[in-house]
Structure 1
Amino acid sequence: MSAPKMFGADWLMQQEFPPLQYVVPGIIPEGMSLLVAAPKIGKSWMVLGLGITLSQGGDAFGVLPVGSPRPVLYLALEDGHRRLQSRIHSMGAGRLDARLQFVTELQPGQVLRTISNYINAFAGSDPVVILDTLGKVMPPAGNSNAYAHDYKVLSELKATCDAVPGSSLLIVHHTRKSDAGDFLDAVSGTQGIAGAADSVLVLRRERLEKRAILNVTSRDAAEGEYALTMSESGVWTLDGESLEQAQNNARIVKANKSVGEPMLELIETVNRFPEGIKAGALRQLLPGQPNLNEYLRRAVEAERIRKLERGLYAPVTSGTLRLSGSESHNIPQISLPLESDFAA
């Protein structure tokens, strides 16, 4: 066995490395990422939507540009041909091409070879492989140490994309049954699973609710917490026009867990206008809320929004102060829209 190779800090600081690349800007860096969520809350819909967007180019979650089309392999090991086709139709994806490939069945011991062969075949084109789910390919630990087993399996999966610069692997996994304080503790299995990943995304959504919170942590990228919405057709979109808005909306959702969907939508809309928004403009932005005056009154009484003056509302976090009658508020003009791989 050869001695480990050492290098000096002076040499290290003279090196020039390419900038960090993203699969989804600000959320999923290149490398191996885990998407973790409870069963049946839409994680497979999410990765299918990402696979379509990445293979065609466009905007992930409706607003985040992913750049040029790239090859994508979706290992949809919990789905069949009929369900995949039905979901693609439901999402309104339109015409797709062979840049997006599917596999629905793998024999034991095939997953590493399948991923590695695909990534190497498209080296230089920033290929992405989606594995849905980890549980379908995870070998039993037997009598071995559970942490060491989990870390070894995930490290071998990670090695497939580490070997080819620009490639990425997104693995879908389940959360624990018990509620966890730290979102990383929600990852099912030992800490060896999350510990081996470059990035971990934990998706949380209450049953029958359309909004969700996506927690993101990474070795290389900034941590974040973002609000997303899943439509009835299965399309996931960022809850806001930017990551910053989605992050602010995530804070609003967490701070107002006890309120219903119409109230939450009202609070989020008011929070988009820190200097205030008039009730008339709110009616145009929220045409589906016939009892808007009542919701405004209740939101002000609960101190979820502020009433600056008659018909004028602002976020509770706004720095705007109530002005005297001789002063006027600077209200922004808004533009309203028209209608075995794993050796022992």
Structure 2
Amino acid sequence: MTDPERRFTFIGEQTAYRLGHAVTAARTRGRHQALATSNDAWSRLKDHGVSSDQIVRSLLPAWLAEVRAWAEQPAKPEVVAVPPVLDETEAALRLAAPRVVTRERASLNDSLSEPAHSDHAYTTKQSTKATEAPPPQFISVRQLMAACPALRPPVIDGLLREGETMNLIASPKTGKSWLVLDLAIAVATGRPWLGRFPTVAGDVLIIDNELHGETSANRIPKVAKARGLGTDEFADKVFIRNLRGGLQDIVSLGPYFRAIEPGRFRLIVLDAFYRFLPAGMDENANADMASLYNHIDRYAADLACAFVLIHHSSKGNQSGKSVTDVGAGAGSQSRATDAHLVLRPHEEPDVVVLDAAVRSWPPQESACLRWAFPVWDVADDLDPKRLKVETPRRRQRADRPSPPEDWTPERFVGAFMSGGPALRDEILMAAAKDLSHAKASSMLKLAEARGLVQRVQPGPSDRVRFVVAQRTEGGP
């Protein structure tokens, strides 16, 4: 229903319902309102030069995921949760904005090429003025100093401030989740983390998409007990939402974060970061990761709290890398955050070295942490410079039996992809005993190029998987 007058007649007037029919009628009215709103948004996108095909392929999947997440929120009468609008999503704004600028430039060029007194020139100038971009915004240093007389309030002294983000990077199964539970309890109770980083007390929210609720309920009291804390000292200050199997990512969590009152939490923890990646995003792509961190920065600013992201390091020896180079994926991950903490193995067993690259604090000294289940404690008796040096890659390759020279894409698919759909990382891990990571990646690319395998994505929030392509009768 696109006619404004008819739509107002249908949805804009008071309506009396027969007894028992109010709920059904309200639902019907809501559907028509949603259709009308979506139709208006579609028209605005078309006005900005976005084709219907682009809307269907590029914008609808992400928008529907946001709508689904919004609809699944628990109803709160005191909170007005407005559903996402098609042309106000980040993807829509990115797609439409360049076209607006292009049209403005075209209109300006047309006005300059027409005679000064022609009616066309007058009309073009008027339309250009109506769609003219706002002037660039800037302030003087004096104004900036007056507006920002001090740094933001600390959350973890020496590491993190309000509105900032922090990475915590370590290899899988190192015990970083235990360390973060210790951090959450320290902030919630206002106690120094690891005995050396003072904290400002405030409630903490942990969003965990790796652990089941039962596991979290088992771990948190153990950490608190190891720190000498009773249940009443932390249990009503640490909050958790277990999302394992919930198919949620950073973008689809937008409505959830927007429903939280600003200042409600001092710290929000996302564990583990790789599971929050939206479908189709590549952790090795700088542009994708920068976009993701932009979302988190927005959430941190809106909620007036700090974010901590738990992530894994890349494979191989980490001792020869700089602090900001540790972490799986694109380098923008370390550059986008305000603090980048890494845990690397020490030459002593059950010991790691904690290093930090910080933005708004003086440089931090390295520290050794010794594992004493279920917590990490500072080990001042050890030298943090003595990182564990693993076997050099060249020696590893020399000790590894040489793979056969007759590896082909067909053999690769038969050896490592005989099951159902699998993630790229799962396929490469399965091939790790026989092929180097680079060789396996090359074989997978060749197999896809030859049509031996194909990509599948069951739903818009699911990660892309590879499956053996079905061959038709008489095909190659």
Shared fold per TM-score greater than 0.5: yes
Would you say 1:32 and 2:32 are equivalent positions? Answer: no
Aligned twin of 1:64: 197
Aligned twin of 1:108: 247
Aligned twin of 1:94: 230
Would you say 1:151 and 2:290 are equivalent positions? Answer: yes
Matches within 5 A, 1:172-321: 172-180=310-318, 181-206=321-346, 209-240=349-380, 252-255=383-386
Q: 1:115·1:129 contact (CA, 8 Å) conserved in 2?
A: no
Would you say 1:81 and 2:220 are equivalent positions? Answer: no
What letter corresponds to residue 277 of structure 2 in structure 1? M
Look up the SS of the partner of 1:160 in the other structure: helix
| Alpha-carbon separation, structure 1, partners of 2:157 and 2:281 | 39
What letter corresponds to residue 170 of structure 2 in structure 1? A
| Alpha-carbon separation, structure 2, partners of 1:216 and 1:33 | 10
Would you say 1:12 and 2:148 are equivalent positions? Answer: no
Deviations 1:243-265 (A, max 9, x none): xxxxxx67x2315869xxxxxxx
Deviations 1:34-74 (A, max 9, x none): 11111111110011111112122222113433233x11111
Q: 2:314·2:327 contact (CA, 8 Å) conserved in 1?
A: yes
Deviations 1:100-137 (A, max 9, x none): 11111163355456477458634235521100011111
| Alpha-carbon separation, structure 2, partners of 1:154 and 1:142 | 13
How many residues align? The count is 250
* TM-score when normalising by structure 2: 0.47
Aligned twin of 1:303: none
Aligned-pair RMSD on alpha carbons?
3.1
What letter corresponds to residue 64 of structure 1 in structure 2? F
Structure number, greater radius of gyration: 2
- Gaps of at least 5 residues in structure 1 are 241-248, 259-339
C-alpha displacement of 1:232: 2.4
| Alpha-carbon separation, structure 2, partners of 1:144 and 1:74 | 22
Would you tell me which structure has more strand in proportion to its own residues? Answer: 1
Question: RCO higher in 1 or 2 (8 Å CA, sep ≥ 6)?
Answer: 1
- Gaps of at least 5 residues in structure 2 are 1-132, 390-459, 462-476
Q: 1:112·1:157 contact (CA, 8 Å) conserved in 2?
A: no
* Aligned with residue 271 of structure 2, among 117, 128, 132: 132
What letter corresponds to residue 50 of structure 1 in structure 2? L
| Alpha-carbon separation, structure 2, partners of 1:64 and 1:17 | 24
Would you say 1:163 and 2:295 are equivalent positions? Answer: no
Look up the SS of the partner of 1:60 in the other structure: coil
| Alpha-carbon separation, structure 2, partners of 1:119 and 1:208 | 45
Shift of the 199–105 alpha-carbon distance from structure 1 to 2, 3 Å rule, reads same
C-alpha displacement of 1:4: 1.8
| Alpha-carbon separation, structure 1, partners of 2:190 and 2:145 | 36
Q: 1:41·1:207 contact (CA, 8 Å) conserved in 2?
A: no
| Alpha-carbon separation, structure 2, partners of 1:116 and 1:225 | 39
Aligned twin of 1:21: 153
Aligned twin of 1:274: none
C-alpha displacement of 1:208: 7.3
Shift of the 199–119 alpha-carbon distance from structure 1 to 2, 3 Å rule, reads farther
| Alpha-carbon separation, structure 2, partners of 1:255 and 1:111 | 37
Deviations 1:237-289 (A, max 9, x none): 3335xxxxxxxx67x2315869xxxxxxxxxxxxxxxxxxxxxxxxxxxxxxx
Q: 2:156·2:200 contact (CA, 8 Å) conserved in 1?
A: no
Shift of the 87–207 alpha-carbon distance from structure 1 to 2, 3 Å rule, reads farther
Shift of the 24–233 alpha-carbon distance from structure 1 to 2, 3 Å rule, reads same
| Alpha-carbon separation, structure 1, partners of 2:257 and 2:282 | 33
Deviations 1:142-168 (A, max 9, x none): 699921111111211221002233x11
What letter corresponds to residue 334 of structure 2 in structure 1? A
C-alpha displacement of 1:197: 1.3
What letter corresponds to residue 340 of structure 2 in structure 1? V
C-alpha displacement of 1:222: 2.2
* TM-score when normalising by structure 1: 0.63
What letter corresponds to residue 163 of structure 1 in structure 2? D
| Alpha-carbon separation, structure 1, partners of 2:387 and 2:286 | 37
| Alpha-carbon separation, structure 2, partners of 1:178 and 1:20 | 37
| Alpha-carbon separation, structure 1, partners of 2:255 and 2:370 | 32
Q: 2:153·2:161 contact (CA, 8 Å) conserved in 1?
A: yes
| Alpha-carbon separation, structure 2, partners of 1:98 and 1:118 | 20
| Alpha-carbon separation, structure 2, partners of 1:17 and 1:132 | 34
Shift of the 118–163 alpha-carbon distance from structure 1 to 2, 3 Å rule, reads closer
C-alpha displacement of 1:140: 4.0
Q: 2:250·2:277 contact (CA, 8 Å) conserved in 1?
A: no
